[in-house]
Amino acid sequence: MQGLMQGKRGVILGVANNRSIAWGIAKACQAAGADIALTYQGDALKKRVEPLAAELGALVLGHCDVTDAATIDAAFDALKEKWGKIDFVVHAIAYGEQLDGRYVDTTPENFSKSMLISCYSLTALAQRAEKLMTDGGSIVTLSYYGAEKWMPRYNVMGVAKAALEASVRYLAADLGEKAIRVNAISAGPIKTLAFAGIADSRLLLKYNEVNAPLRRNVTIEEVGDSAVYFLSDMSRGVTGEVHHVDSGYNVLGMMRPDAPKD
């Protein structure tokens, strides 16, 4: 991996702590030679993100809440001032409420907020990135299998992820002429802050672990390594793709009869 991203500069949004998928991606990008900038959402995360950024020698752009366009602009203005242009953006952001009830009861407020934060924000970032990716670039977002199939307790998040995956295809078509590629990694369940907010998350982890072809769950480091493929020139012929990093869980048509039951 060493050197695969040498000379590339980009921003990673979504580090909350050292269990975040965004952190796994940041570590892998730095190991591959990239210069990285991070943002954080609010003061509570500032004190977690700043020491992590220092570990990687990463730039900290400050607070960025994707529901507040001014903070997104401020982050990209800071990137322009510091680096002039960028090569990659990682969007590892999601938010959803009412995940323990029924999807059919989703309120318009919850639907709009979840869509805005978990889906539209990718487009908002792509709009800003387009202006700074003057030599082309790569944008990666994070999705989950709940976009494709019903998953318990995922509700509005599943619908938002389906829209996110569709956005990847539309953004890829729009930005391809500028050599800007847009792809998604559909990660298997990983114990992060956001994941712990899903009721039955332990059951989901166990179910994936015993049934997936690799018979284990994936790690943030494995997602990070796959992100390096998308963010580096190794994937220069690939765009609009949703790539599963889930120990193969998505290929199953039926659960393995030999999987341990408890």
Binding-site annotation: residue ranges: 14, 20-21, 41, 65-66, 93, 161, 190-194
Could you give the CA distance from residue 190 to residue 203 in angstroms, rounded to a whole number?
Answer: 12
- State yes or no: residue 242 binds ligand NAD (CB under 6 A): no
**Single-letter code of the amino acid located at 144:** Y
What are 191's two structure tokens?
Answer: 């114990």
Residue type, 105: D
- Tell which one of 26, 93, 99, 171 touches ligand NAD (CB under 6 A): 93
As a dihedral over the C-alpha atoms of residue 218, residue 118, residue 136, residue 178, rounded to 10 degrees, the angle is 130
> Mask: binding to ligand NAD, 12-41, rule CB under 6 A, as x and -?
--xxx---xxx------------------x
The strand ranges marked E within 88-154 are 88-91, 137-143
Catalytic residue among 40, 95, 144, 249, which?
144
Distance CA 234, CA 256 (A): 34
Q: Is 60 helix (H, G, I), strand (E, B) or coil?
A: strand
**CA-based R_g, the chain, Å:** 18
124 near ligand NAD, judged by CB under 6 A: no
Among 90, 129, 142, 168, binds ligand NAD (CB under 6 A): 142
For residue 252 the two structure tokens come to 């199953």
Closest to ligand NAD by CB, 179 or 205: 205
Binding segment (CB under 6 A) for ligand NAD, from list 60-68, 81-89, 172-180, 229-237: 60-68
Question: Looking at 40, 154, 229, 249, which residue is catalytic?
Answer: 154
Cβ–Cβ < 8 Å for 182, 16: no
Question: Could you tell me which stretch among 54-62, 100-108, 128-136, 191-199 binds ligand NAD (CB under 6 A)?
Answer: 191-199
Annotated active-site residue 120? The verdict is: no
Looking up tokens 């012929």, which residue turns up? 237
**Contact flag: residue 189 with ligand NAD (CB under 6 A):** yes
# binding residues, ligand NAD (CB under 6 A): 27
Strand partners, 139: 89, 182
Nearer to ligand NAD among residue 22 and residue 126 (C-beta): 22
Quickly list DSSP for 25-45.
HHHHHHHTT-EEEEEESSHHH
160 near ligand NAD, judged by CB under 6 A = no
- State which residue, 26 or 64, has the beta carbon closest to ligand NAD: 64
- For the question of residue 144 being annotated catalytic, the response is yes
- Interface with ligand NAD by CB under 6 A: which range of 61-69, 129-137, 227-235, 236-244? 61-69
Q: Please report, in range form, the residues annotated as the binding site for NAD(+).
A: 14, 20-21, 41, 65-66, 93, 161, 190-194
What is the residue whose two structure tokens read 């539309």?
A: 170
Q: Active-site residue numbers? A: 144, 154
Provide the binding-site residues for ligand NAD, judged by CB under 6 A: 14-16, 20-22, 41, 45, 64-67, 92-95, 117, 142-144, 187, 189-190, 192-195
